[in-house]
Structure 1
Amino acid sequence: MARWIVKVIPLVLSLACSRGAADSADEGPPGLLEGLRERSARVLAHDAYGDGATELVYLEQGWGPAETLWFYHADQGSVLMPYDTLLHLEQVGSEQPFVSPEHMTRFRFLNQYATPNNPDGLPVGFARHDDQVGLTCAACHTSQVNYRGTAIRIDGAPALADVAGFLREVEAALRATLADEAKLARFAAARTGGGADEAARAAARTSLQATLAWFSDYNAANHSTTTEGFGRMDAIGRIINQAIRFTSGAQNSLEPNAPTSYPLLWDAPRHDYVQWIGFAANAEAGSLGRNAGEVIGVFGRVEPRHYETEKEARRGYESTIDMNALVAMEESLRRLQSPVWPEEVLPAIDRALAARGAELYEQQCVSCHALIDRADPDRRVVAQITGLEVVGTDPTSARNVADARVPAGMLEGAVSPQGERYGAKLTALTLLGDLVARSLAKNPVAVGRAIVNAKRHELVKTPKQGDHPRSDSDPTVSLQAYKARPLNGIWASSPYLHNGSVPTLHDLLLPAAQRPARFAVGRWEFDPHKVGYVSDGEGPFVVDTAVKGNSNRGHEYGTQLAEDDRRALVEYLKTL
């Protein structure tokens, strides 16, 4: 069934988009056909942060409307909350729907018109799984850049979404509904099969209480003194906490105090190693394992078991993860290309200045950030892994992963995928690896498809490249490093460094002491000269680089250039 859905949904969307392109915009529901022509994207003329747009464009990235729209709402197996609850929940202090476009824009989710696979017009990255709704990777890996009233949607680029803020606000809205009889009555009447009688309200109350208990537990377990804010999340920390929740309980959660920017997705299937720390190989079934871990982080559920023997363990773990959809998504991403600077919207590139910058790039950057042809069907990406002491950037994310030891919980004494017995404590990646490996074992057909695809594209496991630490006795030593990648499309991925601690490319080329110590993030308006989102002012969120996990130091490459040369290098980076 899953494979059928994967094939049919893009076809349905393709037909819908074709009809929309052929018909006049004033036929059908207002905005619907126009929205389909623009991949259903919906923009607001005014928003809470002053970043409205009246026009929208998509860039040529190798995807058509069908691929984009499928990616936006493909069910990966996330089960965050009941679908009806999200659809009919009201905002705190208001009768307006929580999912109204104006409200969801406050979290920097990207609004959409209704489409066949998104009939209620939920934002990018929300997907239905049976009677539940959850997030997909599109929520964090689709961005928008606004410039003078025109919005540019960019598939695969890091979003500005404040996911943690959204989760806290859902909890507050659930509490408000339970505390207000009028809100509860409206919610009960709006639900599928609901009504206005006491029985309907009682059923609604029971459902809301169960959902609130989950959100309250999750938000408390992931509380941190380092606020993630817009465009960042301690994704690995939160994924590990979900693994802990399934095996020993949320009370053993680790503090997620190492926010990282959402990585770029274009060319991700072509990398030998992925993740900011470069610990995940794409060879064999590696891509499927990495994506299964992502689904665990965005609220997929896994049911681990204590297996005493290898024979028992072959049964694997039940989960909500849709492995076939993940394989299809990885192959679709293989066709996604990085965006080219749109000179029809943004100011034209100064080609003479960029040519001067190209020479500087060869001198300062290319040894770590190789140049590739975005359209080459055989392009490959070899990650350059650099040790913490060399690159000098904030070490919190890498050290958290390397140092974390977590309770084995129900897995203590069980057989591992390597045939050993688990002790009372495990490394965090060992625990996560168990859940991923056993979930994959339950889905051998999807695993086989992933392996065949890796071989077909000649993805093989090779030694890591670059100046990174190694130890024969302690494999966690190699985790204390960060990965560099090609910079094609880098103009569309601010803020910069792995933790989003530098607002623009121009600032990144300054000595660390001269970079902004505090800056605003969350605006969509773009600064084409410094190359990054507008970051002055005090909102909607301020990144304080003095806070743990937020350091903007390190990566002092090209930082001694004269200002004219710095401008030339920035101009060249726009061309990548």
Structure 2
Amino acid sequence: MISLLLSLLSLLKKASRPLLLLCLAIASAMLITLSIGKLYQNWDTDPNRGAIAMPSGALGESYPTPRYLEQGWDNADSLWFYNTTQGSNLLPYDLFMALEQPDSTELFRDNALIDKYRYLPQKPTFFNPDGLPVGFVKDTYQGKSYIGLTCAACHTGQINYRGQAIRIDGGPTMADMPGFLAELESSMRKTLVTATKLEHFTQRVLARNGDFTQKDEVIASLKEWANNLMLYNGVNHSTVEYGYARLDAFGRIYNRVLKHVINKKQVHSLLLLATNKDHSRMLTPEQAARVLEGVDKTIIGNKNFAVIFDRLRSTNPGYPGLSREQLFRLRDLIFNEPNAPVSYPFLWDITHSDYVQWNGIASNAGVGPLGRNAGEVIGVFGTLDWTAQEAGFSLSAKISGQSKKQKRVDFKSSIDLVNLRRLEHHLQRLKSPKWPEDILGKIDRTKAARGELIYERYCLSCHEVIDHNNWDRVIIAKMSGLDEVGTDPLMALNSVNYTGKSGNFKHTIQQQPAGGLYIPEEAPVAMILTSVTRGTVTTPDPDKWIIRRWLDWLYMMASSVFENEIERTIKNGNYQPDTTAQPFNSLLAYKARSLNGIWATAPYLHNGSVPSLYELLLPKKRAGDPENGRYRPNRFEVGAREFDPIKVGFVSSGFNGFTFDTTLPANFNTGHEYAAGRTAQLNGEALPPLSDAQRWDLVEYLKTL
């Protein structure tokens, strides 16, 4: 990437003097705009950072206006983070603002429903005049306005304790995104079939004087976006219930990529391979051809997939009229079930980390953060206006390996790369929260001192202790292979084993650390995602004037390369190395990292299968274990924000939340039993199990991190 930048700078040197002066003038204007933008970040200084009280919340909870801890951000920093778009377009803004709940005349955006799905209600502030919840934002793309999600929707937490509330910037959300999206789809469907709802809805939309001027236009748009959401929810339907505080984000990103990459020929072959339970063909050749009639050959995309889905369900002559069960069987041929939900990771220290994501899939060196964040926006509803273009030079085609293809994919999208870079830079100043003794109780320093010695012996080899005030800190990911750590393997297995049709990337070459790899037609989705994000980050913003968009892009790429102090290194830890036969072996592992602020990130383990730090130090009960022993709970409730400062985690019983069953695949609470003497250290030594007193000492020390 550095060589690419140098080549572009060389071209500028050879440019004519008038062109060079024009570029310099525009560059100066751009720098002035950026400077104004930095000042603009400080304009929203609401003293409560937009937070409001919920006197009658979901799950029987109520709380006053939340307070904030010292995390390196002031009021303006938090509000800018909450309300800065990344290019997410869930549905048109006017439709969202006017939509009623499915079985009520209350608006869908009402704070009670927002709290029901554990998102965080906000009051109107300068950056958020409509009082959208934390992480919900108005985005503009190609002259239209949309409701979208920001980083803060998934990475802002809250803890309640005895009538007080604490907001945790960068902490994991308690949200139930699949439940929220299912109810959103239900609201849209109910509006379309209920005359009074539809009439009230269209009147409210038109009264906004926004992007819609005609009633028929409103109804058509509602139908289109309801179908889009139904398709999204159907493709991502999982037999594993997520509940609160978890999401299979990678599975959903993978599926969005496959939907926008697969080509007509590949879909046609899969339609002919689809079979019923009795192994008979699901579609005749004539039906398959009819379903794909008029669909683009190179890029199918979202709209065409919606057409295909409708035709597959249609009982009109010539169409197959597939049942729900048949559609899911067909879904599994094209996509992968996102059945490995994991806890939302916390964001403090992310910019100081060498590798990120639970299985260390993403390097943080160079432009790695930009690619990672672009992939994230693909997953949270970035508009992907990818189209097939004639062969010819294109920077995105070159970087994504398509330079020799007869057609190339143009990666035009709503993804705001400049904002992604700004958000990553903003996170450099975010620090982990310190245990608030004035709210959660004093730390027993004598017990904590004993716990520190236990931590040094049992935990330090994987979880390095850092100073969160040290600007030069580096968070080293210590990888442990699946067999070594013993935790639920499904997320890591899916990241490697999930495959899909590579579309236009078939037989392109992708550069890996060990050399180039050809992408086969049926390829690991991790490979396809890498090519897609490379194409995305090398495609300037289509909403800007052509010279401005390229200067912005150059600035963004240069700052990503030269301001990123994380060096490219090999992974640390005990894991299987990549080989020519298994080029993604190293992803069959999970990452350990520094535990500063760990007290504020329950539930624990990567899949959220243990409710508290104390219970994390207990063993998993196995056959033959004594009945009167202490063990990790097999079932517990999730969803409450009320905190347990003794065990250190959220309360996990006594309310009607989501029942987390650890006996189900993806939910296993096995492994990471170092304190129980059942999991060996990195050096292969299994230490003796801790006594109960030692567990409590260690928990007390963990509060201090």
State the TM-score, normalizing by the size of structure 2: 0.75
- Name the CA distance, whole Å, in 2 between partners of 1:223 and 1:42: 34
SS in 2 for 1:406: strand
The one-letter code sitting in structure 1 at the alignment partner of 2:152 is A
- Name the CA distance, whole Å, in 2 between partners of 1:341 and 1:472: 44
Could you tell me which residue of structure 1 aligns to residue 377 of structure 2? 295
SS in 2 for 1:128: strand
**How many residues align structurally?**
555
- Name the CA distance, whole Å, in 2 between partners of 1:59 and 1:113: 20
Q: 2:418 aligns with which of 324, 328, 333?
A: 324
CA contact under 8 A between 2:503 and 2:521: conserved in structure 1?
Answer: yes
Could you tell me which residue of structure 2 aligns to residue 462 of structure 1? 569
Could you tell me which residue of structure 1 aligns to residue 25 of structure 2? none
- Name the CA distance, whole Å, in 2 between partners of 1:389 and 1:446: 43
Distance 1:146 1:234, change over 3 A: same
- Name the CA distance, whole Å, in 1 between partners of 2:33 and 2:238: 39
Could you tell me which residue of structure 2 aligns to residue 41 of structure 1? 51
- Residue 203 (structure 1) shift: 2.8
Q: 2:347 aligns with which of 265, 270, 284?
A: 265
Q: 1:14 aligns with which of 42, 47, 67?
A: 42
SS in 2 for 1:491: helix
| Range with greater deviation from structure 2 (307-316 or 280-289) | 307-316
Could you tell me which residue of structure 2 aligns to residue 101 of structure 1? 111
Is 1:563 matched up with 2:692? yes
SS in 2 for 1:547: coil
CA deviations over 1:403-444 (Å, ceiling 9, x no partner): 111111344356767887643211111111111000111137
CA contact under 8 A between 1:454 and 1:460: conserved in structure 2?
Answer: no
- Residue 316 (structure 1) shift: 5.3
Is 1:429 matched up with 2:507? no
The one-letter code sitting in structure 1 at the alignment partner of 2:354 is D
Could you tell me which residue of structure 2 aligns to residue 512 of structure 1? 620
- Name the CA distance, whole Å, in 2 between partners of 1:210 and 1:357: 58
After superposition, residues 396-475 of structure 1 pair within 5 angstroms as 396-412=490-506, 422-443=519-540, 445-446=552-553, 449-450=556-557, 452-473=559-580, 474-475=582-583
Could you tell me which residue of structure 1 aligns to residue 648 of structure 2? 531
- Residue 301 (structure 1) shift: 2.5
CA contact under 8 A between 1:194 and 1:200: conserved in structure 2?
Answer: no
The one-letter code sitting in structure 2 at the alignment partner of 1:302 is L
CA contact under 8 A between 1:224 and 1:255: conserved in structure 2?
Answer: yes
Distance 1:364 1:324, change over 3 A: same
The one-letter code sitting in structure 2 at the alignment partner of 1:14 is N
- Name the CA distance, whole Å, in 1 between partners of 2:691 and 2:473: 34
CA contact under 8 A between 1:316 and 1:441: conserved in structure 2?
Answer: no
Runs (5+) with no aligned partner, structure 1: 18-35
Distance 1:94 1:59, change over 3 A: same
Is 1:278 matched up with 2:395? no
SS in 2 for 1:374: coil
Distance 1:207 1:305, change over 3 A: closer
Q: 1:126 aligns with which of 126, 136, 146?
A: 136
CA deviations over 1:71-126 (Å, ceiling 9, x no partner): 10111000110111111111111111111111100010011111122111010111
- Name the CA distance, whole Å, in 2 between partners of 1:273 and 1:354: 30
- Residue 236 (structure 1) shift: 0.6
- Name the CA distance, whole Å, in 1 between partners of 2:33 and 2:378: 22
The one-letter code sitting in structure 1 at the alignment partner of 2:617 is L
Runs (5+) with no aligned partner, structure 2: 1-28, 263-299, 306-330, 399-408, 541-549, 622-630, 677-688
SS in 1 for 2:258: helix
Q: 1:57 aligns with which of 67, 82, 101?
A: 67
| Range with greater deviation from structure 2 (55-64 or 323-332) | 55-64
After superposition, residues 157-196 of structure 1 pair within 5 angstroms as 157-192=171-206
CA contact under 8 A between 2:370 and 2:560: conserved in structure 1?
Answer: no
CA deviations over 1:230-249 (Å, ceiling 9, x no partner): 11000110100110111126
CA contact under 8 A between 2:44 and 2:127: conserved in structure 1?
Answer: no
Is 1:227 matched up with 2:255? no
- Name the CA distance, whole Å, in 1 between partners of 2:83 and 2:73: 15
Is 1:79 matched up with 2:97? no
SS in 1 for 2:137: strand
- Name the CA distance, whole Å, in 2 between partners of 1:526 and 1:350: 18
Could you tell me which residue of structure 1 aligns to residue 256 of structure 2? 242
SS in 2 for 1:129: strand
Distance 1:571 1:416, change over 3 A: closer
Distance 1:307 1:431, change over 3 A: farther
- Name the CA distance, whole Å, in 2 between partners of 1:460 and 1:88: 48
- Name the CA distance, whole Å, in 2 between partners of 1:14 and 1:183: 41
- Name the CA distance, whole Å, in 2 between partners of 1:488 and 1:205: 50
- Name the CA distance, whole Å, in 1 between partners of 2:88 and 2:463: 34
Q: 2:590 aligns with which of 455, 479, 482?
A: 482
- Residue 311 (structure 1) shift: 3.0
SS in 1 for 2:95: helix
CA deviations over 1:19-39 (Å, ceiling 9, x no partner): xxxxxxxxxxxxxxxxx2111
SS in 2 for 1:300: coil
CA contact under 8 A between 2:88 and 2:415: conserved in structure 1?
Answer: yes
Distance 1:2 1:400, change over 3 A: farther
CA contact under 8 A between 2:59 and 2:655: conserved in structure 1?
Answer: no
State the TM-score, normalizing by the size of structure 1: 0.92
- Residue 304 (structure 1) shift: 3.8
- Name the CA distance, whole Å, in 1 between partners of 2:414 and 2:646: 45
Could you tell me which residue of structure 2 aligns to residue 30 of structure 1? none
- Name the CA distance, whole Å, in 2 between partners of 1:16 and 1:308: 46
The one-letter code sitting in structure 1 at the alignment partner of 2:673 is E
- Name the CA distance, whole Å, in 2 between partners of 1:397 and 1:37: 40
Identical counterparts, % of pairs? 43
CA deviations over 1:255-276 (Å, ceiling 9, x no partner): 0000000111000011010010
CA deviations over 1:369-399 (Å, ceiling 9, x no partner): 0000001111111110110000000000000
- Name the CA distance, whole Å, in 1 between partners of 2:442 and 2:217: 59
| Range with greater deviation from structure 2 (342-351 or 309-318) | 309-318
CA contact under 8 A between 1:306 and 1:411: conserved in structure 2?
Answer: no
Larger radius of gyration: 2
The one-letter code sitting in structure 2 at the alignment partner of 1:268 is I
SS in 1 for 2:637: strand
Q: 1:254 aligns with which of 330, 336, 353?
A: 336
SS in 2 for 1:466: strand
CA deviations over 1:461-519 (Å, ceiling 9, x no partner): 11110001113212111110000010000000000000001000011000122111111
- Residue 533 (structure 1) shift: 0.6
- Name the CA distance, whole Å, in 2 between partners of 1:8 and 1:539: 49
- Name the CA distance, whole Å, in 1 between partners of 2:35 and 2:499: 42
Could you tell me which residue of structure 1 aligns to residue 21 of structure 2? none
- Name the CA distance, whole Å, in 1 between partners of 2:457 and 2:561: 34
Distance 1:373 1:176, change over 3 A: same
Could you tell me which residue of structure 2 aligns to residue 216 of structure 1? 230
- Name the CA distance, whole Å, in 2 between partners of 1:361 and 1:416: 42
CA deviations over 1:330-364 (Å, ceiling 9, x no partner): 01100000000011111111111111111110011
- Name the CA distance, whole Å, in 1 between partners of 2:461 and 2:176: 34
- Residue 208 (structure 1) shift: 1.0
Distance 1:507 1:450, change over 3 A: farther
CA deviations over 1:137-158 (Å, ceiling 9, x no partner): 1101000000011110000001
- Residue 5 (structure 1) shift: 7.8
Distance 1:86 1:3, change over 3 A: farther
| Range with greater deviation from structure 2 (411-420 or 115-124) | 411-420
- Name the CA distance, whole Å, in 2 between partners of 1:471 and 1:542: 38
